[in-house]
Chain A
């Protein structure tokens, strides 16, 4: 038994070690890149270190949407569904949050109004996620393509809202935005980190993470997600309803995406802005993959990418290194994760651990 525990810890450590290795490779490549184009080579590494030490606030600000996006991705990924539409769903969530918030009475109780705003955002995100989900279930439409297309529709829809129906009449001609929301719908920022926009959304992300962990590992629904994800035919044979499970996980994913939209609107911008979303959804895929689709891991990888993003922004402000280099780092991590590198030594070890193939033990 002891041995088994040890094995498990070793294999977990192996996974974490591998992921950390990926990050280091990506950072080295980025550093070479910076050096080659004549910038300060260590800029990106310094930026991250700063984000994890001096400027924790900025890291938390960016980690919040990234952790949530990672969670939104890992819910569906467990069921082998690719929701690449988190970006669209969060736009819809933000739109719904804004539309509700500007119409709430200004003297309404703070908590109640926030609750209403967030529920509206979650509902909108979930509903928008139902379009590709229903198409997948009833028409066998590949959700990868449909969600990608719907992202553009949602982004354009928000653009339409802030240039039309929801436009702030007092805004300047160059600013496409809604009116500023009433303060009773503002999600509080974390006072410790003032004046940064690090906000209570981070706590929400942690709560969502805990809920998902519980759902995945301790509930019958979690078991169904796992089986549907690894073999839908088995799920059907065992009397589960794979189609229903797919709709459920997509709804959950969309709702989480909606929360991101609501957090960005109510805590960061306090208004709806066209194109406010720097592709959190795509980053969420890397966040989730780097964490092996484990919700607890998503928290840590989300914080890492938060530090990366924040580091990039700080770096651009202080030095003249373009912040786009962080996108390059992310993309490198992304593509290396997708690869199945065969490391012969590790392989042999792996097979030793598998139980006897033939004969007794």
Chain B
């Protein structure tokens, strides 16, 4: 493989990983707060639709689309937050219901608003310029970082922001506390429901942005079920990444890499069915899931990791 090919593959890895990263960063906050959020899939689908709808109605303004998707994503996730806090809904069931509702709503609105079925491209769309970073854009291989969209750079910045928020601020401490023990957090004067609302809304907003990235930056259309399991992959990534912002983001890059390699193989003309290639990230996710649950199990059993200290009775 030539250096140019490597650089190209890495660049597409970053492109593919961007929406996963956004979803994982929001999802890991939920995970830390003890909210089992596999509704990322539905949140981002709604976001993807909202972005295209806003782009259509603003005459092609992608910026407005992105912001619209963030707002609509957060609004949609509010329903999830309402049910899991106020009505004590089972997280898993509520998540699946949100995914189902997202699929139903978007395909309904596709018909109701645009009168089409399957997919819709807005009449006009002013695509965002990719941003070239001086100096880096001329370094071989490393130049894969340059020439990405603004959303990608935002996602990378977000890794740092979420890291600081989670480990250095009051809110982060409250999030971790609620995830560990709701009762205990309550006795320390924290309102678990409020914390859950916050993390769910953040994950809704970020997933909305992820969906908008897919519909307005990756392509220029909304199609039914266009998220294609990316939300579940993002969830797997955050599980594998131990709900740590940096590790989880790195895992999304690995997922992106698995995908990019597949596309590369296809381009090279290797005789592999595209369906099999599309399986790569899922196979990788299953493997990641197995590894992470196995290491957790060993950790609990004390085979690896820390030792327990026992104080001698004085």
Is this pair of chains taken from one and the same complex? yes
8 Å CB contact of B103 from A38, A142, A151, A327: A327
In contact, B282 and A340 (Cβ under 8 angstroms) = no
Instruction: Give the dominant DSSP class at A's interface.
Output: helix
A330: B residues at CB distance < 8 A: 100, 104
Neighbouring A residues of B12 by C-beta, 8 Å:
none
Verify if A21 is at the interface (C-beta below 8 Å from B). no
- The answer to whether A160 and B232 touch (CB under 8 A), given A335-B89, A338-B89, A340-B89, is no
- Tell me which residues across on chain A come within 8 A of B282, comparing CB atoms: 149-150, 152-153, 156
Flag if B108 contacts A149 (CB, 8 Å). Answer: no
Which residues of chain A are within 8 angstroms of B92 by Cβ–Cβ distance?
A: 82, 144
Chain B: interface size category: 35 or more
Interface hits, A264-315 → B, CB 8 Å: 279, 282, 285, 289
Give bound CA distance, A146 to B285, whole Å: 9
- In the complex, the answer to whether B229 meets A144 with C-beta atoms within 8 Å is no
Partner of B275, one of A39, A163, A332, A335: A163
Known contacts A142-B293, A325-B104; decide if A338 and B93 are in contact (CB<8 Å): yes
Q: Judge whether B93 and A324 touch: CB under 8 Å.
A: no
Within the complex, the shortest CB–CB distance from B117 to chain A, in Å, comes to 8
Bound Cα distance from A332 to B290, whole angstroms: 33
Q: Verify A139–B112 contact, CB threshold 8 A.
A: no
**CB <8 Å contact, A322 and B90:** no
- Among A142, A145, A164, A325: residue with most chain B CB under 10 A: A145
A200 to chain B, nearest CB (A): 29
Interface residues of B in 277-314 (CB under 8 A from A): 278-279, 282-283, 285-286, 289-290, 293-294, 296-297
Which residues of chain B have C-beta atoms less than 8 A from A148's C-beta? 38, 229, 232
Taking the complex as formed, is A341 at the interface, i.e. its CB lies under 8 A from any CB of chain B?
Answer: yes
Q: Given the known A-B contacts A152-B282, A340-B88, are A141 and B289 also in contact in the complex, defined by CB atoms under 8 Å?
A: yes
B124 within 8 Å of A (CB atoms):
no
In Å, the complex CA distance between A328 and B99 comes to 11
Binary contact readout B84-105 vs A (1 if CB under 8 angstroms, 0 otherwise) = 0001111011101111110111
| Closest chain B residue to A160, Cβ basis | B275
User: B residues within 8 A CB of A340?
Assistant: 87-89
Docked complex Cα distance between A289 and B93 (Å): 10
Contact of A140 with B by CB under 8 A: yes
Contact A39 B112, beta carbon cutoff 8 Å: yes
Interface string of A313-329 (1 = CB under 8 A from B): 00000001010111110
With A82-B92, A139-B290, A322-B112 known as contacts, the answer to whether A144 contacts B38 (CB < 8 A) is yes
B253 in the interface (beta carbon within 8 A): no
Assembled-state Cα–Cα distance A324/B49 (Å): 15
Distance in angstroms between the alpha carbons of A39 and B112 in the assembled complex: 9
Q: Which of B38, B108, B233, B276 has the most CB of A within 10 A?
A: B108
List of B residues within 8 angstroms of A156 by Cβ:
275-276, 278-279, 282
* B297 and A140 within 8 A (CB): yes
Asked if residues A335 and B83 are in contact (CB atoms below 8 Å), the reply is: yes
Among candidates B98, B99, B101, B236, residue contacting A145 with C-beta atoms closer than 8 Å: B236
Residues of A within 8 A of B239 (CB): 142, 145
Chain A positions within 8 Å of B273 at CB level: 160, 163-164
> Is chain B's binding surface mostly helix, strand, loop or mixed?
helix
Residue B126 CB within 8 A of the other chain: no
Query: B288's closest neighbor in chain A, by CB?
Result: A149
Query: B252 an interface residue at 8 Å Cβ cutoff?
Result: no
* A274, chain B: closest CB distance, angstroms: 8
B107 CB-CB contact with A under 8 Å? yes
Find the A residue at minimum CB distance from B93: A338
| A332 to B83 Cα, complex, angstroms | 12
Interchain CA distance A41-B279 in the complex, whole Å: 42
In the complex the two chains form, is B107's CB within 8 Å of A327's CB? Answer: yes
List the A side residues contacting B286 at CB < 8 Å: 146, 149-150, 153
* Among A149, A282, A322, A326: residue with most chain B CB under 10 A: A149
Q: Is there contact, CB below 8 Å, between B93 and A337?
A: yes
Complex: how many Å from CA A38 to CA B101?
20
Most chain A Cβ neighbours within 10 Å, of B97, B99, B101, B290: B97
Which residues of chain B have C-beta atoms less than 8 A from A289's C-beta? 93
Contact A149 B94 (CB under 8 A): no
Query: A1: CB under 8 A from chain B?
Result: no
Residues of B with C-beta under 8 A to A160: 273, 275-276
Contact B93 A145 (CB under 8 A): no
- Give, as a whole number of angstroms, the nearest-CB distance from B298 to chain A: 10
Task: Check B76 for interface membership: any CB of A closer than 8 A.
Answer: no
Q: How far is the CB of A174 from chain B (nearest CB, A)?
A: 14
Interface residues of A (CB under 8 A from B): 37-39, 82, 84, 135, 139-142, 144-146, 148-153, 156-157, 159-160, 163-164, 279, 282, 285, 289, 320, 322, 324-328, 330-332, 334-335, 337-341
**15 A–B contacts from the bound complex (CB under 8 Å):** A84-B96, A144-B36, A144-B92, A145-B239, A149-B236, A152-B232, A152-B282, A160-B276, A164-B273, A285-B96, A324-B105, A324-B107, A325-B108, A334-B101, A340-B88
Q: A152-B229, A322-B111, A334-B101 are in contact. List 15 more A-B contacts (CB 8 A).
A: A84-B96, A139-B293, A139-B297, A142-B293, A151-B229, A156-B276, A164-B273, A282-B96, A324-B108, A324-B111, A325-B104, A326-B104, A338-B90, A340-B88, A340-B89
B residues contacting A by CB (< 8 A) are 36, 38, 79, 83, 87-90, 92-94, 96-101, 103-105, 107-108, 110-112, 117, 228-229, 232-233, 235-236, 239, 273, 275-276, 278-279, 282-283, 285-286, 289-290, 293-294, 296-297
